[in-house]
Amino acid sequence: MKRNIFILCTLTLLIGISCTQKESSNTTDKINSSGDISESKSAPKIDYYTCSMHPQVHQDHPGTCPICGMTLVPVYKKDSGAQLIIPKNEGVINAVPTVSISTEKQQAIGVKKSVVEKKDISYPLTLNARVAFDPDLYVAQKEYIEIIKSVPSLKTSARQRLKLLGMSEEEILSLEKQRGTPSDLISPQNGYWTYATLYPNDLALVQKGMPVSVLGDTGYVDGIDPVLDPMTQSARARIFVKSKTIPKPNTFVTATLQIPLNDVLVIPSSALIDTGNRKIVYVVTEDTQFQMREVQTSFSSNVFSIITQGLKEGDTVVSSAAFLIDSESQLIGRL
């Protein structure tokens, strides 16, 4: 009797365990099929929503920016890696991450792209200048004329003084031939002289003989001081302007030169982001991927910028909405 009771209890216990396991399995299947429980391949988790133009805006739900009205973008938690791709550059230290932006979003924010090209260009260089009035040079020229007439032994030192005051060898020879009125005085028949200020960066570009425009009249660079002013660290360019209208001495004017540059890398200036500490562009590595690249420039205008380092011919850069891509990059922890 006892044996029968023991067998019955054992069978009951086994049946109960089997039913429990089946019910547990069915429950798990239902939960997984409904999507309530995420697997290891779950979608990236959104941390908050913000505005590309105003990153101080944080919301826990989608919507529009309360400041500018732009559609808020999701910011994913850093452990999700949702929109930040680290290139697999084996053996490369500090590989640059790439921001990934869908084609639809590119269209929404107005992304445009331009190819880096090598071109022959010229750009205007505007210099501050004044109509020549230089008593020291005038006196030195008068002295030189008298010296070559009466004291030839002092000619070498007098000649060196004229060079230090900015006169070229050709101008000194012309002064010797005149043996009369110093050449730096205004000549109403031909035109007038101006002095333009050249800083170290300008000195590498401006050369003697270059055409110049002053007050709508044409002229040319006739000479450049061989030494810098110790106070301003600048030199003077002596410019002769052909004009029938003579401004008063010491009148301030602007002189414009066209600086020719050959075979230089050029990008639209709208592609360049100048942070103050560095200059960056976003290079298109694939249709939806943009890599930040630090560059160096030698000149930038409102239209184009000349690249000296960081890009090569044939690269494609973002030329419109680059600052929005940079904002997106910062929002996802790119910088």
CATH number of the domain residue 268 falls in: 2.40.420.20
| 138 and 111 together in one domain | no
Tell me if 323 is assigned to some domain: yes
Q: What are all long-range contacts of 146-153, with beta carbons under 8 Å and residues at least 24 apart?
A: 148/176, 148/179, 149/179
Residue 150 forms part of a structural domain:
yes
121, pLDDT greater than 70 = yes
Residue 111 lies in a domain: yes
Same domain, 271 and 316: yes
Question: Domain check: are 325 and 266 in the same one?
Answer: yes
Query: Which of 185, 207, 225 is the endpoint of a domain?
Result: 185
Contact in structure between 170 and 231 (CB atoms under 8 Å):
no
Smallest CA-to-CA distance from 264 within 294, 309, 295, 318 is with: 309
- pLDDT: is 28 or 303 the higher one? 303
> What number of other Cβ atoms are within 10 A of residue 128's Cβ?
13
Are 141 and 114 in a shared domain? no
Residue 56 within a domain: yes
Check whether residue 117 and residue 138 sit in a common domain.
no
Question: Which tokens go with 185?
Answer: 């005085």
- What does each C-alpha distance from 195 to 110, 170, 203, 221 come to in angstroms? 47, 18, 14, 10
**Rounded-to-integer distance, Cα 301 and Cα 281, Å:** 16
Mean pLDDT over 281-289 rounds to 90
* pLDDT for the residue numbered 140: 83
Based on the domain organization, do 148 and 110 belong to the same domain? Answer: no
Instruction: State if pTM tops 0.85.
Output: no
Q: Are residues 266 and 318 in the same domain?
A: yes
Tell me whether residue 203 is in a domain: no
pLDDT of residue 326: 82
Cα 308 to Cα 118, 124, 281, 301, distances in angstroms: 11, 19, 13, 15
- Residue-number span of the structural domain to which 181 is assigned: 134-185
* pLDDT value of residue 185: 46
Position 94 scores a pLDDT of 43
Selected residue with higher pLDDT from 256 and 109:
256
Based on the structure, what is the number of domains in the chain?
A: 3
For range 298-319, the mean pLDDT: 89
pLDDT at 96: 58
Q: What is the predicted pLDDT for the residue at 129?
A: 94
* Mean of the per-residue pLDDT values of the chain: 77
At 112 the pLDDT is 92
Is 231 a domain residue?
A: no
In a domain, 52, yes or no: yes
Amino acid identity at 25: S
Where does the pLDDT of residue 143 fall: very low under 50, low under 70, confident under 90, or very high at 90 and above? confident
- Please give the share of the chain, as a percent, with pLDDT higher than 90: 22
| pLDDT greater at residue 253 or residue 18 | 253
Token pair belonging to 189: 């028949």
Shared domain check, 312 and 280: yes
Give a yes or no: residue 62 inside a domain: yes
Cβ atoms of residues 111 and 325 within 8 Å = yes
